[in-house]
A and B are shown apart, each in its own frame.
Chain A
Amino acid sequence: MKRSLLYIILIITAILCLLPFVWMISASLMTTGEANVFPPKFFPSKITFSQYQNLFSRLNIARYFINSIVVSVGITVISLFVNSMAGFAFAKYRFSGQKNLFKLLLSFMIIPAQVTMLPLFLMLKYMGLINSYMAVIIPGIASVFGIFLIRQYLIAIPDSLIEAARMDGASDFQIYFSVILPLAKPILITLAIFSFMGAWNDFLWPLIAMTNDSMYTLPVALASLMGEHNQDTELMMAGSVVTIMPILLVFLALQKYYIKGIMMGGIKE
């Protein structure tokens, strides 16, 4: 009795989580105007891909898709190296001021990114980088959270592995590259998903840094499309599907690592 009540609540919640997406996908397959009816239709009378054709042929969405891919992959790859190196240094080396430096970095996490955006915009403008991929990639390179996550993971790895490699004459960089990186693979995958998703979904900074139409990422393009086509429900739903699908697939493929990462970040120390 109690069990079936729990299941009913869980299933209703699951339906509420998925229903908006079901409607989104089905509206994206309707002909123009078909989604603006009462009562709302949950299935197209005849499936059509014309909204998607419109997006790709007339509205240049392939370009925005590529922009999003370049920026997100760029941030993920670069930040993985930068943060894993720093996390390694904090976990396995002893230097003066180490504890305080780490604490200082952690305290930065409370500063909202919006505080940096005005000077950052001016800086990148003077460097001629506004409307370039670098403008979006650069602020995403180093992440205190990433350094923290890697440090926590590496601390648990026994020093003897490093000492053994050193005995064999490996340099510090070789140790990092061929001992630490392979050992840290699970946490690196976790961090890669975090970075990729964060970059793919990011809106405010790309909105500021990409003022030229051809450099828009998908969220920025979608927002600007919304301005012109806010009555074209079916078209906007197709745009939303194109924006959401890649990230959803990445999540479903790698969700085990992602959820583990959140649990690790949640249980501190």
Chain B
Amino acid sequence: MREKNKFKLSAAYFFLAPALITIFIFFLLPVIAALLMSFTDFDIYSLGNIGYAQFVGLKNYIDIFNDPLFWTSLKNTFYFVIVGGPLSILVSLAAALLINSKLIQFKSFFRIVYFIPVVTTLVAVSVLWRFIYHPKFGILNYLLGFIGIHGIDWLGNPQFAMPAIILMAVWKNFGYNMIIFIAGLQNIPEDLYEAASLEGASAWNQFKNITLPMLAPTTLFVGIITMIGYFQLFAEPYIMTQGGPLNSTLSIVLYMYQEGFRWWNMGYSAALAFILFFIILIVSLIQLKIQKESYI
């Protein structure tokens, strides 16, 4: 028995090795290196000779807190997450409820159609929507014209640029969470609804007292993955607005990319990346805590 176990053990390590070694070298080490880097003034000169990089303590972090562009990018990113996240989740839930309705046939057809924007390449979709948002020739303004709204310069006006990006993100992403919600809805035992119907509970009351609480774990999961994804906003402003107009769509990741890979201020950029990481970590923990407190 002992002998066999030993044999198995070496096999387990053999199977684990490729994954663990790659994760260690190409994920964990870079994370640690990025943390160290964020305490240095690593820049374009250090790129040629790493010896030029000096430890500067918390200087990058202090500079960031005094950098108006950082606060702009933080504000924009939170705008996208706080408005876009819940909006996406609401649309996903509504679509899931519709498709899951007993009155509906062709469920898989609708599911596939709603899912098509999810699988298509974000860069291509952003290119496409840049033309859809065209103030003169775009189909959005053409359609809005029928209800009397005219000439919105979606991507050229600082007030409309972020809402435009949010609208596209909701369109692109709602299908994904919809699938997860459908799975969650199908896991709710049917007899709960039957019992409630017998007691004469209205559809709204059933939704409020059965569906929503039973969906709570799904909603938490959906909330966290959506939030993590939305904090990483990058391709949409990169393609559609380059962060403009007037920096109104500059996101943290876009700012990090520009600092790190356009100006090669890699120390500064690494500090930005870590601030993003800590924000994501803290917001996830808050979501977990709220969920625990409200459903125990």
Interface residues of A (CB under 8 A from B): 2-3, 6-7, 9-10, 13-14, 16-21, 23-24, 27, 35-40, 81-83, 85-86, 88-90, 93-95, 105, 108, 110-112, 114-123, 138-139, 141-142, 144, 147, 172-173, 176, 197, 200-201, 203-204, 208, 218-220, 222-223, 226, 230, 233, 236-237, 239-240, 243-244, 247-248, 251-252, 255, 258-259, 262-263, 265-268
Interface residues of B in 117-161 (CB under 8 A from A): 117, 119-125, 127-132, 134, 136-139, 142
A93 vs B128: C-alpha distance when bound (angstroms): 49
A248 in contact with B120 (CB, 8 Å):
yes
B128: which of A20, A40, A105 is its contact (CB, 8 Å)?
Answer: A20
Separation of A202 and B150 alpha carbons in the complex (Å) = 36
User: Which of B26, B115, B281 is close to A110, meaning CB atoms less than 8 Å apart?
Assistant: B281
Q: Are A263 and B284 in contact (CB under 8 A)?
A: no
Closest Cβ neighbor of B254 among chain A residues: A204
Please indicate the chain B residues that have their CB under 8 angstroms from the CB of A16 in the complex.
171
Contact status B115-A259, CB under 8 Å: yes
Say yes or no: A204-B235 contact (C-beta < 8 A), given A85-B19, A93-B8.
yes
B137–A35 contact, CB under 8 A?
yes
Given that A208-B261, A248-B120 are known contacts, is A95 also in contact with B132, CB under 8 Å in the complex?
Answer: no
| In contact, A118 and B180 (Cβ under 8 angstroms) | no
7 pairs from A and B in contact (CB 8 Å cutoff): A17-B113, A112-B232, A141-B22, A203-B122, A223-B127, A237-B128, A247-B121
Question: Among A89, A112, A200, which residue has its beta carbon within 8 angstroms of that of B121?
Answer: A200
**Residue of B22, B124, B183 with most partner-chain A CB within 10 A:** B124
Within 8 Å by CB of B116, from A9, A21, A203, lies A21
Cβ contacts under 8 Å, A112 to chain B: 228, 231-232, 273, 276-277, 280
Q: Would A267 and B123 count as touching, CB distance under 8 A? A: no
CB-defined contacts of A200 to chain B, threshold 8 Å: 121
Q: Are A248 and B116 in contact (CB under 8 A)?
A: yes
- In chain B between 27 and 64, which residues have their CB closer than 8 angstroms to a CB of chain A? 27-31, 33-34, 37, 47
Of chain A, the residue at the smallest CB distance from B110 is A10
Given known pairs A2-B103, A147-B19, A223-B123, the reply for A20 and B129 (CB within 8 Å) is yes
With beta carbons under 8 angstroms apart, the residue of B12, B18, B37, B129 that contacts A93 is B12
A40 touches B183 (CB 8 A): no
Known: A21-B116, A27-B131, A119-B34. 8 other contacts (CB 8 A): A112-B231, A115-B276, A118-B269, A119-B37, A123-B26, A172-B15, A204-B257, A267-B187
Within 8 A of A (CB), among B203-220: 217-218
B221 interface contact, C-beta 8 A: yes
Question: SS class of chain B's interface: helix, strand, loop or mixed?
Answer: helix
Q: Which 8 A-B pairs have the closest CB atoms?
A: A119-B33, A266-B180, A172-B11, A86-B19, A93-B12, A116-B30, A219-B123, A89-B15
From residue 174 to 190 of chain B, which have CB atoms closer than 8 A to chain A? 175-176, 179-180, 182-184, 187
Complex CA–CA separation, A122 to B5 (angstroms): 42
Contact A204-B253, Cβ < 8 Å, known A95-B12, A222-B123: yes
- Is B179 touching A263 in the complex (CB atoms < 8 A)? yes
Closest B residue by C-beta to A251 = B119
In the complex, chain B residues whose CB is within 8 Å of the CB of A240: 121, 124-125, 127-128
Q: Say if the beta carbon of B290 comes within 8 Å of chain A.
A: no
Q: Is B23 an interface residue (CB 8 A)?
A: yes
Whether A95 contacts B9 in the complex (CB less than 8 A), given A17-B171, A138-B22, comes out as yes
B131 contacts A233, C-beta separation under 8 Å: yes
Q: How far is the CA of A92 from the CA of B127 in the complex (A)?
A: 46
Using a CB-CB cutoff of 8 Å, which residues 80-130 of chain B contact chain A?
A: 95, 98-99, 101, 103-104, 110-117, 119-125, 127-130
B266 at the interface (CB under 8 A from A): yes
A247 touches B120 (CB 8 A): yes
A86 to chain B, nearest CB (A): 4
Which one of A14, A40, A117, A173 contacts B142 once the chains associate, using CB atoms below 8 Å?
Answer: A40
Contact among A93, A105, A118, A121 with B11 in the assembled complex (CB-CB below 8 Å): A93
What 1/0 mask marks residues of chain B from 1 to 17 whose CB sits below 8 Å from any chain A CB? Answer: 00001011101111110
Q: Are A255 and B112 in contact (CB under 8 A)?
A: yes
Q: Is the CB of A10 within 8 A of B273?
A: no
Closest-by-CB residue of B relative to A220 is: B123
B28's nearest neighbour on chain A, judged by CB, is A108
C-alpha gap A70/B182 in the complex (Å): 35
Inter-chain contact A247/B119, CB cutoff 8 Å: yes
Name the distance in Å between A82's Cβ and chain B's nearest Cβ. Answer: 5
**Contact call A252/B261, Cβ cutoff below 8 A:** no
Q: Does B193 make an interface contact (CB < 8 A)?
A: no
| Set of chain A residues within 8 Å of B228, measured between Cβ atoms | 110, 112
User: Contact check: which of B18, B104, B115 meets A82 at CB < 8 Å?
Assistant: B18
CB <8 Å contact, B31 and A86: no
**B31 contact from A6, A81, A111, A142, Cβ within 8 A:** A111
Contact of A120 among B13, B30, B171 (CB under 8 A): B30
